[in-house]
Each structure stands twice: as structure tokens, then as C-alpha cells.
A and B are shown apart, each in its own frame.
Chain A
Amino acid sequence: MPKKTDVDKPKHIGASLKILLKSIRKYRWFVVLAVVLTVASAILGLFIPKLLGDMTTIAVNSYPDLDWSALGAKAILVIALFVGSAALNYGQAYILAVVSAKYTKDLRESVIDKISRLPIAYFDKHQYGDTLSRMANDVDVLTTSLSQEIADISLSLTTLVGVMIIMLTISVPLSLISFVVVPISVVVVGRIMRFAQKYFHEQQSTLGVLNSKIEEDYSGQIVIKSNSYEDDALEDFDKTNERLTVVTRKAQIFSSLSFPVTHIFTNLGFVAVCALGGVFVIEGKINIGQIQAFVQYVSRFNRPITEIASTTSTIQALLAASERIFEFLNEPEEEPDPEPAKTLEKVQGEVEFHDVCFSYIEGRPIIRNFSVKVKPGMKVAIVGPTGAGKTTLINLLMRFYEPTSGYITIDGVPIREMKRADVRKLFGMVLQDTWLFSGTVEENLRYGDQSASLDDIRRAAKASNVDHIIEALPKGYRSEISEDSDNISAGEKQLVTIARAMVESPPMMILDEATSNVDTRTEQLIQDSFEKLTHGRTSFVIAHRLSTIRNSDLILVMRDGNIVEQGNHEELLKLGGFYAELYNSQFAES
């Protein structure tokens, strides 16, 4: 479980920053342009207080006959500066908005891409809620704060440096006061922020845990209700909810501490400047317009520091989110397809398992030394008690998992030397768990073959007895369905998946207990269509139904990960072994 380490392990800011920067490389010129615009905009803005101070000085010096033409010239310059500065500022904001939106898009895309490249084993071990939370919350946190931070940091730094220079030109001793105060406040605030970072990280990961919990409870809601488990579920939820609250509180408090702390230092500097500046004016070292401008610069000098301080807290949250995203994106992927990969010219459909061993957990073998040769066009039924390794065989055949040792060949070619996609293309699959995506019935049926015409789809739907059910829906083939939707029943969803496999029309078929949800009356018809579908095609059926088994060319009887018997129905019955025992338990009178 990655969660525990997430919370406890101190995170590597440098490393995650590096990865983050690499991921925005594509946009670096836009970012640079945005930064340049920000800097230009900030510099223009910097001269405004000085010019305003100049106006005061002009006024004081020319009093009582105010030099309105000189004042007017300055005023027009001020207006030009702040309008120009605002225009540049918008340019920067525009660029960053576009870049950040596109970057968000990229990230989401990489997550989806990653999902398709991770081994199935990853998802059998990790909870969906966790991945979802990375996709939704973390991407959101990362991208919204990133563009904000780029603008803020460049603006703050420019202002800081610019203000420093201007302050120095006004009065070196007054500037030095501010320059002493500032670093102290930065150090203090930095310390506080380190705590905030820790809690922000914890906040994100606790949110992930809570997400998983809620997802589980919501999808298992019926079980909770039918066991009066509501109170316990709530109690359990409360625990995580409370933990999240505590961590959120701490993160918030620590990050908001920076404001009052900076404020104290700001005011200290401010008072010192006023006092000392006052003395300097009395001594005639500077004039009153200059001190007026200087005070304005002091407040401008402090603002970027406050900003940088608050920036650090956002950056913590940002880095925490980015760490979680890139942690996911850096998970080891499926072994790449061999290059060059072997392909099959004309598929015969001969499948052979050679001494295959497999275990999900090291040291706990599920399948041991499994060998079988399936001739082209054979209909193979895999039977056996639950947990005998039937589903695992399919996982290996489809290359969802790879054998620990031994290998599988199709027409003599080891499937490991082929592309995964090419192997999977050879099989049509109807799984025990129906899975339909949200979309129209037609789109769902076209899932295996995008080029299928509506006629093809109708034909397949008719063959799998789902045509009339679909036509009965309000919009027929254009009706929206989804995994959650209740406009068609579980059994009907199953029929749709069967029709989906029929549309695909692959050279070989895998049926995983598919008929168990289909209602009994239409089963005969489905079996007929299966018969049609499997005719001349090698097919593997994990079957519970005798009618399916009886029509098979080869029955593999599995027990504890081994084929204990193989043959056809009659042969196996004659044998009087495990199969006969299984068979008799089905229809034997008690």
C-alpha cells in the first residue's frame, strides 16, 4: 500500500521539482514570454510612486505658483505607465491561462495513457478511488496553482529587485533598514512553511484514503443497508473524516501564520523608515517628496515578500500534488512489446500451453506445469470448482498476466513474441462481469469493430436475442446506457456484451461464465448463436452449464491449478473420476 509511505516519508522537493519542470518543458517559451511580460509590466509600475513623489516635490518647490505644466507632464507619464503595465499584465495572464489549461489537458491525458499502459496487476492491487483522486484533486491543485505561482513569483521577484534599486537611489541608509528586516522575516516564515508543507501533503493523502472509503461504501450501499451497518460505516467514516479535518486545520493554520509574522516585520521596517526618514528630512538630507515616495516603496517592498511567503504554502500543496501525480505516472509499466514482433499470417487457431506455471503472489502457485494442446476450431470447456484456476488461464491467454515459467503458443508462435494487441485481437471475450461504457447501445455494440455498419450490429443483436430488447428502449439503438443505468437489467447487459463480441467476430473466442446471468428462456437461442459464432473457431468457455459442456470437443477439468482430466463428455463420464462426480452432483436426485 503506497498510502502509508505517502504520509510518513519526507518528500524530496528537489526531485519532484525537477520532474515537474520537465513536464512543462513543452511550454517553456510561452512561460518565458509570460515571465518577460510580467517583468516588463512590473518595471513600468515601479516608477509610478517615484513620479508621484516628484510631483509633490515640484509642488512644494514651486509653491505658491504651482508649475501645472510640469505637474501635468508627470501625470500623463504616470497614466501612460500604468496603462502600459496593465496591458502587459493581461498579455501575461492570457498566455498563462492558455498554457495552464493545455498543461492540465496534457496531464489528464498522461494519466489516462498511463492507465492503459500499466499492468493489470497494478489495478488488482490498488484502489480505484486513489487513482481517481490523483486524476481529479491532484491535477486540479497542481495546475491551478502552477500558473498562479509562475505569475506571482516572477512579479514578486521583479518588484523586489526593482524596488530595492529605486530605494537605494533615494536613500542608502533608509534602504539598509528595510534590507535588514526583510531577510529575517523570510527565514522565520520559511520555517513555519516547512510545517505547513508536511500537513498539506498529509491532507492530500488522507483525502485519497477518504475517497476510497466513500467509493466503497457508496457502491456497496445495498449491503450496508441490508445488514443495518449504517452506524458502523458512519463511525468508520467519521474516523477518517476527523483525521482529514485535523490535518486540514493544521495545514491551514501553519500556512496562515505567515501573514501576521510578515506583518510584524513590515511594520517594524515601516516605523523605522518613518522615524529615521523624519530625522533625515529635518537634517535636510532628503526632501519630503522623496520620503513620501520611499514610504510607498517600503509597502511595495513588503508586498512581494508577503506574496512569496504565501507562495511557499501554495508551492507545498502544489509539490505534494505533483508528487502524487508523478508517482503514479512513474509506476513501472507493462513490459514493452518485442521488437520486431512476430505476427500470424493466417490464423489457424491452434493454441498450446507448454508447462505453464503461474502465481499472483510469489511462492503461492495458482497454476502448476499446465500443458495442453488445442487443435484449430476446437470448442474447449474449462470446468472445475471455484478457485481451481479457470479465470487465471484466461488471464494468461489474453496476456493480462504473464506466466512465471513455461509459455503459450498460437499456431506455434509463442504469444510472448507477439504484440499484446495482436494477441488480444485474436480473441473475442465475454466476461462474467458485464462492462458497458456510458454511450448509446449502438456505440457499445460497435466497441470491437468501429467499421461495423448498423446492419452488422442489428444482425449480431438479433443473433444474441437482444434486438427486441433494444428496440423496446425509448430511442432504440440510440438509447444511452451505462454500467450504472437501470434502463436495462443485468441479464440484458450481458446479452449486449455477447452481441458486442459477435460484432467483433474474432478468430477465437473466450467466454467466461458469460451465460450465468442470461435468463433461461433465451439461453437456448444464445447457445445456438454461440454455436454459430464458435463454428470453425477455437473457443474457450469457462462453463457452469452442462449444455455448454456437453457440446464441447474438449473438456478440461481443473482442480487446484491442474488439469486433472481431459476429454469429451462421454469419455469423461466413462472415466468415472472427478468430472463424473461434478456432473452427478448437478442432476442427481437427492
Chain B
Amino acid sequence: MFKLFKFLKPYFWQVVILVLATVLQVYTTLRLPALMADIINNGIVPGDTGYIWMTGLRMIGLALVSAAGSLVSSIFAARVGANFARDIRRAVFMKVIDFNILDVKDFSTASLLTRTTNDVNQVQAVTIMMLSMLIRAPLFCIISIVMAVQTAPDMSWIILVGAVAILGSVVLIMSLVIPKFKIFQTMIDKITLLTRENLTGLRVIRAFNNEKLEKKKFMRTNDELTKLLIFIDKILELQNPLINIIFNGTTLLCSWIGISLLTKDFAYLGNMTAFAQYVTHVMISFLMMSMLFVMLPRANVSAQRINEVLAKANKIKWHTKTQGMPEKQPSVEFRDVDFAYPGAAEKVLDNISFRAEAGQTTAFIGSTGSGKSTLINLVPRFYEASAGEILVNGLAVEDYAKEDLIKRIGFVPQRGMLFAGTVKSNIKFGAPGATDEQVRQAAEIAQAKNFIEKMPKQYSSHIAQGGTNVSGGQKQRLSIARALCKEPDIYIFDDSFSALDMKTDKKLREALKPITRSAVVLIVAQRVSTIKDADQIVVLNNGKIVGKGKHLELITKCKVYQEIVKSQLSDKEYLAELKLAERSSHA
């Protein structure tokens, strides 16, 4: 929790004002019992009505000042607390957006979401409480003690008894409960995860008629959570009754001792009453602090979860300025590249070397787990190669400034992902400066023009969060248009055509040809038809390159490639392909 307090730094002066206002409020509030003691001792006992009224007026004046102080401190507590939370939320958000893909997977999207919202809210609530109470309570406590001792020095040991009793009971209860809070938070996470699954898996759950099963699963966790919560509460709720006993016990003690100290003129009566009030204030401030300690563990768990995100260093470091001059002519080259997940023994990519030139299409094919997706993720540095060198336009990717590298790459991920906004805002996503004409062109090449123009507001049509109001194929085509609109040097299609039907796939590839004449195109594909025209096909198997060449070369030479082709064509077609290959090799 305290680690997060560095976010309070910009609000230092506001906190100072807050503290000053609180001091004013506390001091004035605490002057009141002393004045009341005066009224009893100097007004009531001697029977001086004038003195009573005079002191009464002073009390009202003090009450007004105290209210003003309280007002100012409340306003600043709210301001600082809310701004503090805003800054943390922003820092977490920035961090997550900057995470590399592995980090996001480590935490899971659901957990990152809770950390950015719920956890920050917890921290905010406690901070606002701290700002008002944690400052007010000790002040109340200290000033009360000073004034109490002044009023009735003989009784001051009672304060100590009360304070120790309260502190003891709070510590006891907290030590029982704190360890449970962490478990509590992980279970809350699980509930969120299950709810999320129920939402994202809606269709599957219904298709399998498994609503009951899902509910059962949810209820199991829900039950566990409830049991834990009840356990925690049973202990926590002991606090109030215990404190009440201590409270009343102390007051009784005050009266008892006060009475035994009575002198003839009863002058001690006023002091005794005031003293009882001060002791009450001392204990109330301990109570306030203990309330804070009830919230603190929960907030502390939240703070830890936030810190985990903030502390995660992004292992991929970027230069702020590109080191060296990339060539004008686009190219991508891999030199002996290895990749393994951190801590994993097995290599996902093993000794990969190839070169892709401008105007060429290089395709990657291979079975699931062959590493083809990982390979292309290395180009925009979504992952970092474990060994070897990756060159973009002749310059190692590590030497680029982030923007310089990213602007050269149009990346189309496997799943079409869109953002809430309009069709246009989605296409212009990577190229904010694009004109309407460029947007239209990109859409046309991506074969998205037809359906866009059939939409009610065409390019201004609303796209829902996650693109849920367009079909999978449409999402994919808009993703492609988004990459095209950037007019990059290098196009990367990560199995991006699989959601398209054959006809659209074909048309799209036709339309891409003129655009990609001066660009490097890297395609990961499943269908042979998608890649058979590629200038270079790289066949991967278990992270190694097992074949490199054109379709007709590979079909005769590469066994893995042959198997792939065979699986997709009928025997007749396969034979025809083979014949073609033979003819071309003779020629």
C-alpha cells in the first residue's frame, strides 16, 4: 500500500492544506469540553449566569471554525483521493498496454481488468479514509490526551488503560483475519473469471444445454466464498462489542475515580465531566484508526496486486531513436533465429534463416505447433528472439525506435479484433492521417467495400465493442483494411484469411497484388490455395525449416509439403499438380 503513496507526490501541498485544516478543526473541537468544564466550575458552581452566556458564545464561535476546518479538509481529502486513484489507474493502464504478449497471458485479461478497476477502487476508498481519519484520529488522540492531562492530571492513567485495551483487541482480531483476506481476493477473481466464461461461452453453454452445469460450478465457488466471508465476518464483528465494553468500562472508571477524588468545593466535578469527554475522544480516535485497519488489509491486498502489475518490467526495451539508417528497399531477414519461452527447455523455433524481398510474398505453412505464428510475431518484436538476428529493411529490429518499426509493419492477427467506434475509425486505426479516399481504397482491396456500403451509415456505421455487431469474416476483412490503410513496407498476415470464404480469399489476394508490389508480404496460412502462388514458401515442422521454395518445387521435393497438399486436394487434382510440377522442372 505504502509503495503506491509515491503517486501522492503531486498532491503534496494539497495534503499540507488538508493537514492544517484538520489541525484547526481538531483543536477547536477539543477546546469545547474545556470551556464546558469552565462553565460548570466558574459558572454553575458559583452561580454566575453572565459567565455562562459569555463562554457559551465563545463555544459557538469555536464550533463554526471547527466546521470550516472540517469542510476544507473533507474537500481536499476527496480531491486528493480521487486524483490519486486516477493516476494509479492510468499508470496501470499504460503499463498493461505496454506489456508484451507473454505478460498479458501471465496475468490473464480478466485479472488485469480487476486490477485496473476494482483494486484501484479499494485503494481509493482506503486512501480517502486515511486522508480524513488517519490524520484526524491521531491529532484528536494527542490533543485530547494533552487536554485531559491538563484538566485532571490525577486521572490521566485511565487514558492509558483505555488505549491499551482498545489497541490490544484490535491487534488480536486483525491477526486472526488478515491471513484470510488474500484467499478471499483470489476467490473473488475466480468468481469474475466464471462470470466472464458464462458470458463469452454463452452460445456453447446453451448448445450443450449446460446452463445447469455452469451454475453448479459457479455455485461451488460461490459457496466457498460465502463460507470464507462468514468466517471472516464472525471474527471481525467481535470488534464493536469489545470496543463498546472498553468504552463504557473506561467511562465508569472515570466516574468512580473522579468521585473518590472529590473535594469540598466540588470544583473537580466540571473537570471530571470534561475529562470523561476527552477520554471518549481518545477512544473514538482509536476506533477510527481500527476501522481503517479493517479496510487496510483488503486494500493492501489490492495494492499488492496493483504493484505486481506496475513492477513487471517489460523485458523488451526500445531505443527512443532508431540507431542507424534502415534501407529504403523493404526486406525482412532472419539469421539463425531461435526462440524459446522464458524458462522452457524446448525451442519453439530452431535456427530459422530466410530472406524476404520487396515485391515478394513469403508464406509459412506447417502443422499446428510448428512455430509459424511465433515466427512472424518476432518481426514487430511482440516476442524477443532468444538467439540470432532479425533484420527489417537491413536493420536489426532491436535498433529501431518503436514507432519507426511499427509504422513499417501492417500486422493482421489471427482473430479479427475491432474497437468500439465507427467503420472508418477502425480502418484508420493505424493511420490516423488517412483521407476518406484512402480508407475507401483500403476497404475495397480488403473486399470490405460491399458490405460496408450496405450498412445503414456506411463508413460512419457504429461498431460495437469487440466488433460484435459484424460477422467473423467481416471483422477479418476490416482488420485487413486496417493494415492496408497504413501503407506499410511489410505486411504480416497471421492466418488472417482462414475466416474468409474461398472466393473472397481469392479476390482479396488478386486485389493485394498491385499494392504489395513494393512491399514484403509474410503470410501464415493453412490452405495451400492461399499460398500456392507465393514467391517463397517456408515449410515448418517442429520449429525447424524443412523446406523452402516455390509450390511446384516443394511438391516434388518436400515430404511434409506433399502431405499437406495431399490432404487438401482430391487424388485427381493432386496428380494434376504433380504433372504440372514435373513439366516445369523439365522446362
Q: B77 contacts the other chain (Cβ, under 8 Å)? A: yes
* In contact, A259 and B70 (Cβ under 8 angstroms): yes
* In contact, B214 and A585 (Cβ under 8 angstroms): no
Distance (whole angstroms) from the CB of A142 to the closest CB of chain B: 14
Report if A249-B82 is in contact (Cβ < 8 Å); known contacts: A256-B74, A267-B59: yes
- Per the bound structure, the CA–CA distance linking A111 and B500 in Å amounts to 36
Residues of A within 8 A of B60 (CB): 267-268, 271
Residues of A within 8 A of B116 (CB): 214
Interface string of A145-189 (1 = CB under 8 A from B): 000000000000000000000000000000000000000000000
- Per the bound structure, the CA–CA distance linking A282 and B64 in Å amounts to 28
Stretch of B141-149, B330-338, B362-370, B390-398 at the chain-chain interface: B362-370
Report if A218-B113 is in contact (Cβ < 8 Å); known contacts: A124-B468, A387-B473: yes
Q: Which residue of B lies closest to A226 (CB)?
A: B411
Residues of A within 8 A of B259 (CB): 55-56, 59, 66, 71
Find A128's partner among B68, B199, B230 (CB 8 Å cutoff).
B199
Find B499's partner among A292, A385, A513 (CB 8 Å cutoff).
A513
* In contact, A112 and B251 (Cβ under 8 angstroms): no
Distance (whole angstroms) from the CB of A324 to the closest CB of chain B: 15
* In contact, B252 and A78 (Cβ under 8 angstroms): yes
- Per the bound structure, the CA–CA distance linking A221 and B53 in Å amounts to 70
Q: Which residues of A398-452 are within 8 A (CB) of B?
A: 398, 400, 420-421, 424-425, 427, 429, 431-433, 435, 437-438, 447-448, 450
Q: Which residues of A250-296 are within 8 A (CB) of B?
A: 252-253, 256-257, 259-261, 263-264, 266-268, 270-272, 274-275, 277-279, 281-282, 288, 291-292, 295-296
Distance (whole angstroms) from the CB of B6 to the closest CB of chain A: 19
Q: A86-B242, A437-B201 are in contact. List 14 more A-B contacts (CB 8 A).
A: A89-B240, A93-B240, A214-B93, A217-B97, A218-B112, A224-B97, A234-B90, A275-B55, A278-B43, A282-B44, A398-B207, A435-B201, A485-B105, A544-B498
Q: A23 contacts the other chain (Cβ, under 8 Å)? A: no
Distance (whole angstroms) from the CB of B352 to the closest CB of chain A: 18
* In contact, A586 and B244 (Cβ under 8 angstroms): no
Q: B557 contacts the other chain (Cβ, under 8 Å)? A: no
Q: Which residues of A371-396 are within 8 A (CB) of B?
A: 383-387, 391
Find B74's partner among A253, A275, A582 (CB 8 Å cutoff).
A253
Distance (whole angstroms) from the CB of A371 to the closest CB of chain B: 23
- Per the bound structure, the CA–CA distance linking A485 and B106 in Å amounts to 9
Interface string of B41-81 (1 = CB under 8 A from A): 00110010100110110011011101110110011011101
- Per the bound structure, the CA–CA distance linking A135 and B432 in Å amounts to 36
Distance (whole angstroms) from the CB of A31 to the closest CB of chain B: 16
- Per the bound structure, the CA–CA distance linking A71 and B109 in Å amounts to 67
Size bin of chain A's contact surface: 35 or more
- Per the bound structure, the CA–CA distance linking A238 and B409 in Å amounts to 27
Question: In the complex, how many residue pairs between chain A and chain B have their CB atoms under 8 Å apart?
Answer: 482
Q: B465 contacts the other chain (Cβ, under 8 Å)? A: yes
- Per the bound structure, the CA–CA distance linking A123 and B465 in Å amounts to 11
* In contact, B226 and A105 (Cβ under 8 angstroms): yes
Find B419's partner among A220, A400, A450, A518 (CB 8 Å cutoff).
A220
Q: A120 contacts the other chain (Cβ, under 8 Å)? A: yes
* In contact, B203 and A431 (Cβ under 8 angstroms): yes
A-B complex: 5 closest residue pairs judged by Cβ atoms: A386-B473, A267-B63, A227-B430, A97-B233, A252-B78
Residues of A within 8 A of B419 (CB): 216-217, 220, 223
Stretch of B7-15, B153-161, B174-182, B523-531 at the chain-chain interface: B523-531
Stretch of A8-16, A454-462, A489-497 at the chain-chain interface: A489-497
Distance (whole angstroms) from the CB of B180 to the closest CB of chain A: 13
Report if A486-B105 is in contact (Cβ < 8 Å); known contacts: A212-B465, A386-B474: yes
Residues of A within 8 A of B273 (CB): 292, 295
Stretch of B117-125, B321-329, B353-361 at the chain-chain interface: B117-125
Residues of A within 8 A of B68 (CB): 260
Find A232's partner among B198, B432, B507 (CB 8 Å cutoff).
B432
Q: B435 contacts the other chain (Cβ, under 8 Å)? A: no
* In contact, A115 and B198 (Cβ under 8 angstroms): yes
Q: B39 contacts the other chain (Cβ, under 8 Å)? A: yes
- Per the bound structure, the CA–CA distance linking A244 and B88 in Å amounts to 13
* In contact, B200 and A520 (Cβ under 8 angstroms): no
Residues of B within 8 A of A132 (CB): 113, 192, 195-196, 199
* In contact, B207 and A427 (Cβ under 8 angstroms): yes
Distance (whole angstroms) from the CB of B96 to the closest CB of chain A: 6
